[in-house]
């Protein structure tokens, strides 16, 4: 938990405290070289500067204190004062935060996703109410993923017929609707599976061409978008938050948008570098027509309506949120 260090001058003997210094810890499952870690490092320096040195933040990188899957629970329990959190990876709970990202199917502009999502967070208090014990300090929005393929591009949905694609669970249904088999496996096992032809492709972002060396084992990159939505990604333990003075709280709140957009900016730089690397390695890129994207995206609708109904049954505004996301998509 937070250690409050009081720096006292001689004047304290005759009056109130001259200055306060707040030493906070920040924990992340990522390394500082990862795009998320790089954004965090800039944010830490920015907070320390904007608070005039009154706040000092010590980072703990690489999962030394928190995990991706249990980050919210660990932060609420006080493992660190602040942390990277990802309720979308939780096995259960956090239902609004965990299930809403899938409702952004078909979106291709991550800034638009983030804008729509932030409007929803402001409109529906259930998003923050789920994160008891945590005050949110930043959000992530994923860049779209596409199809990385061994033998040929996907230009029409008929081209999916018979393919075995490494996929997240959310994408298995839409793939099956057009004759493809979605295969779940750890991403770390996907390279050898592609190399041996165990799978014909993988749904992944541009940056995976470089970071996971997929450009060595695929020849085609078909831009059929799979949106990753948005979610809370940084938070502070509620007790630590409550112990900060209002002016320092305001500095953190004023930087929520900055941290969210800077994270996206650095992630996009990694995407651009991945695409450039793929081009260098001879990967062929192709766009997919708007009509094909719309037809493919429509196959997500039935499953997401069921998810929304499940949220409704919990007393949460699942259908209202889904309707708002879909309405914003067609505007």
Domains defined for the chain, CATH in brackets: 3-94+131-143+228-254 (3.40.190.170)
pTM listed for this prediction: 0.88
Distance CA 317, CA 167 (A): 28
- Mean of pLDDT values over 172-201: 95
- Mean of pLDDT values over 174-196: 95
Tell me, what's the pLDDT at 221? 98
Bridge-based pairing state of the strands 55-60 and 145-149: unpaired
Quote the percentage of the chain above a pLDDT of 70.
Answer: 94
| pLDDT tens per residue, range 91-150 | 889 999 999 999 999 999 999 999 999 999 999 999 999 999 999 999 999 899 999 999
Cα–Cα nearest to 106, from 229, 202, 206: 229
Q: Following DSSP, what letter does each residue of 202-214 receive, concatenated?
A: EEE-TTHHHHT-G
Tell me, what's the pLDDT at 20? 56
Tell me, what's the pLDDT at 92? 86
Residue 273 scores a pLDDT above 60:
yes
Residue 17 scores a pLDDT above 70:
no
- Mean of pLDDT values over 307-330: 95
Residue 1 scores a pLDDT above 60:
no
Distance CA 46, CA 51 (A): 9
């Amino acid at each position: 938990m937070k250690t409050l260090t009081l720096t006292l001058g001689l004047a304290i003997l005759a009056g109130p405290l001259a200055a306060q210094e707040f030493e906070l810890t920040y924990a992340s499952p990522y390394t500082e070289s990862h795009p998320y870690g790089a954004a965090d490092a800039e944010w830490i320096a920015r907070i320390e500067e904007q608070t005039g040195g009154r706040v000092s933040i010590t980072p703990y990188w690489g999962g030394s204190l928190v995990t991706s899957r249990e980050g919210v629970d660990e932060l609420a329990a006080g493992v660190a004062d602040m942390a990277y959190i990802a309720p979308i990876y939780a096995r259960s709970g956090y239902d609004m935060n965990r299930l809403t990202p899938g409702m952004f199917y078909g979106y291709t502009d991550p800034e638009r996703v983030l804008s729509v999502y932030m409007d929803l967070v402001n409109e529906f208090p259930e998003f923050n109410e789920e994160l008891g014990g945590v005050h949110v300090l930043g959000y992530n929005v994923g860049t779209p993923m596409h199809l990385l393929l061994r033998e040929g591009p996907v230009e029409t949905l008929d081209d999916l017929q018979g393919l075995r694609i490494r996929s997240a669970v959310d994408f298995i249904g839409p793939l099956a609707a057009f004759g493809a088999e979605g295969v779940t496996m750890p991403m770390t096992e996907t390279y050898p599976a592609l190399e041996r032809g165990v799978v014909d492709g993988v749904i992944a972002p541009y940056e995976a061409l470089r970071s996971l060396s997929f450009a060595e084992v695929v020849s085609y990159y078909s831009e059929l978008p799979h949106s990753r939505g948005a979610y809370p990604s940084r938070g502070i333990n509620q007790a630590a938050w409550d112990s900060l003075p209002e002016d320092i709280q305001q500095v953190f709140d004023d930087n929520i948008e900055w941290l969210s957009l800077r994270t996206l900016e650095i992630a996009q730089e990694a995407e651009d570098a991945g695409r450039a690397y793929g081009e260098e390695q001879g990967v062929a890129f192709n766009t997919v027509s708007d009509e094909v994207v719309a037809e493919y995206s429509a196959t997500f609708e039935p499953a997401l309506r069921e998810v929304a109904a499940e949220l409704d049954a919990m007393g949460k505004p699942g259908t209202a949120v889904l309707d708002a996301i879909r309405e914003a998509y067609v505007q």
